A = this chain, B = another copy of it.
Amino acid sequence: VSTIYDVAREAGVGVGTVSRVLSGSPNVAPGTRLRVQAAVERLGFRPTPAARALRRKRTDIIEIVVPLVTRHFYVEALRGIETALANTNFTLVIRTIERESDRDRVFDRVGVRGAADGVLIVSLLPTPELTKRLQADQICAVLIDAEANGLSSVAVDHATAGRRAIQHLLDLGHRQIALIDSPEDLFSAASRAGRLDGFREALAAADIRPPAAYEQVAEFSPEGGAAALAALLEIEEQPTAIFVGSDAQALGVLEAARAHGREVPEDLSVVGYNDIEVARYAGLTTIHTPMREMGRRGAAMLLDLLAEGDATARRERIEPELVIRRTTGPAKQFAEALEA
């Protein structure tokens, strides 16, 4: 439609002047500025982002990669990011990885110099190639809800979270405490390791050595949780409490428990992880991982990095919070002991 040349002609000035007015340069005579602004207005002129980006070597674009995977959970991060970016004039480009097979295709297009100034990666582990490219091309990047060597990140301290969950169960008098978690995969960015550490440490500190079978690995889904519970109920000394590495699985555990004739929390206590939206309605006691807050902090960190041109990786850790609801209760022996 129109270019700065049109505006220049309309205002009777040179393109340089128009450009200066547009970028708010102080070196413009007040009267000239007014004339130019009027011309801009009259023509409805908008600078072409592509031309501007080409020339300035800055796109004003922040790219974000999210696993949209039908999980409302991740959208929270988006909200936080959006909040942090609202008052800047960065444009938000969003790339989603729905299936594991999308990953390489998406990662290959992400953080390409000249396509975006910065990248935010949510709940996903970048491949070594991506990491290398980001570093080589000096693209500012921040991981949210994930951590990786050499990259900045904002993430939950999963070990602390695990310890808290277990401590809560210990406080309720439980001694037979099991763990159900998913295998490390693309969509569970290294959180398992931390949780496992927390689980083991807390139990060790209480002088409890759970049998190996108490550490179940299950598919990330309600069905996975249900299957793991079934396995746990096969064990001679059955657990009275279970810490589950994701609410999705925990929900399956809850359902399966009922199917097996176990009352929750009377016969079995269950602690989930993440505090997804449904957790509230299911009354699930769980670890709240504050995605929105992490999104906000991650975006803020990226803006910082961008502003300072600082390349050294920063790492922020967020304290998770235990949300106690209705799926955890005192262990039976413990309750009886209290009565006596």
Interface positions of A (Cβ within 8 A of B): 1, 44, 46, 48-51, 53-54, 59, 68, 70, 72, 75, 78-79, 82-83, 86, 91-96, 98, 102, 112-115, 133, 137, 277-278, 281-282
Partner of A79, one of B49, B70, B78, B133: B70
Is there an interface contact between A51 and B54, defined as CB atoms closer than 8 Å? yes
Partner of A50, one of B54, B72, B75, B277: B54
15 contacts between A and B (CB under 8 A): A1-B114, A46-B114, A50-B53, A50-B54, A50-B114, A54-B54, A68-B78, A68-B79, A72-B72, A82-B96, A83-B98, A91-B93, A92-B94, A93-B93, A277-B277
Is there an interface contact between B68 and A82, defined as CB atoms closer than 8 Å? yes
Closest B residue to A89 by CB, please name it. B109
Is there an interface contact between A48 and B114, defined as CB atoms closer than 8 Å? yes
Max chain B C-beta neighbours (<10 A), residue from A91, A133, A282: A91
Question: What B residues does A70 contact at CB under 8 A?
Answer: 79
Main DSSP-derived SS at the A contact region: mixed
Is there an interface contact between A115 and B49, defined as CB atoms closer than 8 Å? yes
Max chain B C-beta neighbours (<10 A), residue from A86, A95, A102: A86
Is there an interface contact between B72 and A112, defined as CB atoms closer than 8 Å? no
Bound CA–CA A143/B46 (angstroms):
23
Question: What B residues does A114 contact at CB under 8 A?
Answer: 1, 46, 48-51
Question: What B residues does A95 contact at CB under 8 A?
Answer: 91-92
Bound CA–CA A27/B333 (angstroms):
81
Question: What B residues does A46 contact at CB under 8 A?
Answer: 112-115
Bound CA–CA A82/B67 (angstroms):
11
Closest B residue to A138 by CB, please name it. B1
Closest B residue to A50 by CB, please name it. B53
Bound CA–CA A92/B93 (angstroms):
6
Q: A1-B113, A93-B94 are in contact. List 20 more A-B contacts (CB 8 A).
A: A1-B114, A1-B137, A46-B114, A48-B54, A49-B59, A49-B114, A49-B115, A50-B50, A50-B53, A51-B54, A51-B114, A68-B79, A72-B277, A82-B98, A83-B98, A91-B93, A92-B93, A94-B94, A277-B277, A277-B278
Bound CA–CA A94/B86 (angstroms):
12
Bound CA–CA A115/B48 (angstroms):
7
Bound CA–CA A282/B278 (angstroms):
11
